[in-house]
Amino acid sequence: MQNESITFRVQPGGTLRGEARVPGDKSISHRSIMLSALAEGTTRVSGFLEAEDCLATMNAFRAMGVRIEGPEAGRVIIHGVGLRGLKAPQEPLYLGNSGTSMRLLAGLLAGQSFDTVLTGDSSLSRRPMKRVTEPLRAMGAVIATTEAGTAPLRIKGGARLKGIHYDMPVASAQVKSCLLLAGLYAEGETSVREPAPTRDHTERMLAGFSYPLRRDGDLVALRSGDKLVAHDIDVPSDISSAAFFLVGASIAESANVTLQHVGINPTRTGVIDILRLMGADIELVNPREAGGEPVADIRVRSSRLRGIEIPESLVPLAIDEFPALFVAAACAEGETRLSGAAELRVKESDRIQVMAEGLQTLGIDAQPTSDGMLVRGGCLSGGRVESHGDHRIAMAFSIAALRAAGPIEIEDCGNVNTSFPNFVELARGLGLNIVAVDGEVL
């Protein structure tokens, strides 16, 4: 499915108009499978993201004996087996490109009675895993990695875990969630303190499944010994996927787009805050709650963006949205400066370097730094850019064509299926002149 030969061809100009519902939230979809599988009873999920990353999580739990019906039109039924009901898989669990699957499963599987091996594709196999394996080992987990600290992860069953207090050196929802899941199997209390706010979907969902946890400012803690009780989940649309259209409608002429039922969890809305600081016209309509998560319809219209110094406090709240935000910066008047975002260098690609090189190819003065970028707004030309197999890079350069002087071609776009399998269709429906072409016929 992840056909790296796919190229996106996008014609310049045009606008975005209309209403759309982007796919379900990837982070919540992953967690809905994990916690439902460990719950007692049957959970029904609606709005599930049927993309490769989330399907990798689903297939891993099927391989461990969990009966899962679907997905069908975003609906999934998970028959939970309880915290101690997973069974040893017959072979290594292949997680494709999904860092969330690997890091969260590492914590969950560290407390099981059986051995497991977690593998991934070439991109995932280069991503850093020490950030989870080191604190897990401090809890008593037995995990082997490559010498570089990368996958495959070989997790020894039967380890006796003990709760620890962990001060995270870098804000990371994946590390926090990994340790909380391990804490479900550890003696005593497991607590995590984060240096800056990160997405709290795991904590919200644990509470929704009636598992007691303690939250005190920047600290979250839980103890083993309780159980998860099945609880139906309504997955909102993913603000990380909506971000491409928030930027696209801000930079295009005469644009007016409404994105429906988008999750606006306050740990995820940095992209809205940053765009508003740049002068974007963004309105939250009909705010409400769905399945314990705040949602709203988001209306965005054309505006004249201006360059800003992005507050470091907003960086963890928009970490996945910076490829799109770099495009906004390229179309803004003046300079935009980002710092405090070194995490971007160890995503599916080095997003700082790859975005800088692509923007430079399109005629923009973009200077990468060790932990961010300086972008001077200007006129985008057309050109051919490389996504390096990174889904968010591919989609970001697609919407850049709305302000480009010539066509933009983006190579290696097959991995868009990991998060947004109907991106081309939905973008075309709103007015973007984009086609996906198999590389064999180029």
The verdict on 17 and 116 lying in the same domain is no
pLDDT at 10 over 50: yes
Report if residue 53 sits inside a domain: yes
Q: What angle do CA 247, 250, 256 make, to 5 degrees?
A: 115
Residue with tokens 């891993």: 60
The verdict on 198 and 250 lying in the same domain is no
pLDDT range class, residue 143, cuts 50, 70, 90: very high
Report if residue 223 sits inside a domain: no
Which among 234, 262, 293 is the end of a domain? Answer: 234
pLDDT of residue 97: 92
pLDDT of residue 4: 52
Peptide bond into 311 cis (omega under 30): no
244-290, pLDDT tens digit by residue?
A: 999 999 999 999 999 999 999 999 999 999 999 999 999 999 999 98
Report if residue 333 sits inside a domain: yes
Residues 233/43, Cβ–Cβ less than 8 Å: yes
The verdict on 32 and 136 lying in the same domain is yes
The verdict on 240 and 382 lying in the same domain is yes
CATH number at residue 60: 3.65.10.10
β-pair type (116-119, 93-94): parallel
Report if residue 402 sits inside a domain: yes
The verdict on 264 and 338 lying in the same domain is yes
Q: Name the DSSP letter for residue 436.
A: E
The verdict on 432 and 367 lying in the same domain is yes
The verdict on 187 and 321 lying in the same domain is no
Question: Which residues form the domain of 73?
Answer: 26-217+228-234
Residues 152/93, Cβ–Cβ less than 8 Å: no
pLDDT range class, residue 346, cuts 50, 70, 90: confident
Q: What are phi and psi of 232, to 5 degrees?
A: -65, 145
pTM as predicted: 0.90
Report if residue 222 sits inside a domain: no
Residues 70/76, Cβ–Cβ less than 8 Å: yes
pLDDT of residue 2: 45
- Smallest CA-to-CA distance from 25 within 54, 58, 52 is with 54
- Smallest CA-to-CA distance from 222 within 210, 231, 213, 233 is with 213
pLDDT range class, residue 91, cuts 50, 70, 90: very high
Q: Who contacts 63 (Cβ-Cβ below 8 Å, separation ≥6)?
A: 89, 90, 91, 93
Residue with tokens 């070194």: 342
CA distance linking residue 252 with residue 230, whole number of Å: 44
- Exactly one of 320, 350, 371, 390 is catalytic; which is it? 320
pLDDT of residue 217: 93
Report if residue 137 sits inside a domain: yes
pLDDT at 391 over 60: yes
Exposed/middle/buried for residue 442 (C-beta within 10 Å: 0-12, 13-18, 19+)? exposed
Mean pLDDT value across residues 295-311: 98
Residues 300/402, Cβ–Cβ less than 8 Å: no
Report if residue 314 sits inside a domain: yes
Which among 187, 207, 234 is the end of a domain? Answer: 234
The verdict on 51 and 20 lying in the same domain is no
181-239, pLDDT tens digit by residue?
A: 999 999 999 999 999 999 999 999 999 999 999 999 999 999 999 999 999 999 999 99
The verdict on 252 and 212 lying in the same domain is no
The verdict on 271 and 180 lying in the same domain is no
Report if residue 184 sits inside a domain: yes
The verdict on 247 and 198 lying in the same domain is no
Catalytic annotation on 320? yes
CA distance linking residue 434 with residue 431, whole number of Å: 9
Which among 234, 264, 279 is the end of a domain? Answer: 234
Percent of the chain with pLDDT over 70: 98
Percent of the chain with pLDDT over 90: 93
The verdict on 161 and 248 lying in the same domain is no
Mean pLDDT value across residues 409-421: 92
- Smallest CA-to-CA distance from 298 within 273, 328, 267, 330 is with 273
pLDDT at 302 over 70: yes
Q: How many domains does the chain have?
A: 2
